[in-house]
Amino acid sequence: MPHTEWVLIAGLILGLLFGAVGQQTGFCLLRGLKNRWVEGDGRKLRAFALAMAVALLGTQALAVLAPIDLGASVHPQRTLSLLIPIGGVLFGLGMVMANGCGARSLVLLGTGNLRSLVVLLCLGIAAYMTMSGVLANGRLAVEGAVQFRLPAATWWQWLASLGMDGQLARWLVTVVLVVLLSAYALANSAFRRSGRDLAGGLLIGLLIPAGWWITGVLGDDVFDPVRLASLSFVAPIGDSLQYLMISTGISLTFPVAVVAGIVAGSFALSLITGGLHWQGFDSPRHIRRSVLGGVLMGIGGVMALGCSIGQGLTGFSTLAISAWLALGGIVLGAWLGVRPLKSWVSP
Residue 206 φ then ψ, to 5°: -70, -25
Q: Alpha-carbon distance 316 to 304, whole Å?
A: 13
Binding status of residue 131 toward another protein by CB under 8 A: yes
Name which position in 81, 154, 253, 314 contacts another protein (CB under 8 A). Answer: 81
Binding status of residue 1 toward another protein by CB under 8 A: no
Q: Which stretch binds another protein (CB under 8 A): 8-16, 77-85, 97-105, 196-204?
A: 77-85
Q: Alpha-carbon distance 215 to 203, whole Å?
A: 19
Provide, rounded to whole angstroms, the least separation between the CB of residue 137 and another protein: 7
Cβ proximity of 305 and 95 under 8 Å: no
Closest to another protein by CB, 83 or 95: 83
Helix residue ranges per DSSP H, 41-132: 43-65, 83-98, 102-110, 115-131
The number of angstroms, rounded, from the C-alpha of 148 to the middle of its chain's C-alpha atoms is: 24
Binding status of residue 251 toward another protein by CB under 8 A: yes
Cβ partners under 8 Å of residue 186, min gap 6 = 46, 50, 192
The total of other beta-carbon atoms located within 10 Å of residue 132's CB is 15
Q: Which stretch binds another protein (CB under 8 A): 111-119, 160-168, 242-250, 334-342?
A: 242-250
CA angle 158, 162, 168 (to 5 degrees): 70
Q: Which stretch binds another protein (CB under 8 A): 116-124, 241-249, 257-265, 268-276?
A: 241-249
Binding status of residue 228 toward another protein by CB under 8 A: no
Closest to another protein by CB, 143 or 220: 143
Name which position in 24, 25, 60, 77 contacts another protein (CB under 8 A). Answer: 77
Name which position in 1, 189, 246, 343 contacts another protein (CB under 8 A). Answer: 246
What residues from 135 to 154 belong to the interface with another protein (CB under 8 A)?
A: 136-137, 140, 143
Closest to another protein by CB, 78 or 286: 78
Query: Could you tell me if residue 28 is left (phi over 0), alpha (psi between -120 and 50 degrees) or otherwise beta?
Result: beta
Provide, rounded to whole angstroms, the least separation between the CB of residue 242 and another protein: 8
Provide, rounded to whole angstroms, the least separation between the CB of residue 250 and another protein: 5
Name which position in 145, 187, 250, 271 contacts another protein (CB under 8 A). Answer: 250
Q: How many binding residues for another protein (CB under 8 A)?
A: 25
Q: Which stretch binds another protein (CB under 8 A): 30-38, 128-136, 186-194, 211-219?
A: 128-136
The beta strand positions in 88-239, using DSSP E, are 147-149
Query: b/e per residue, 71-96, with b = 16+ CB within 10 A?
Result: bebbbbbbebbebbbbbbbbbbbbbb
Give long-range contacts, CB 8 A cutoff, 24+ apart: 134-142.
135/299, 139/83, 139/302, 139/303, 142/81, 142/83
Binding residues vs another protein (CB under 8 A): 74, 77-81, 131-133, 136-137, 140, 143, 222-224, 235, 242, 246, 248-251, 302, 305
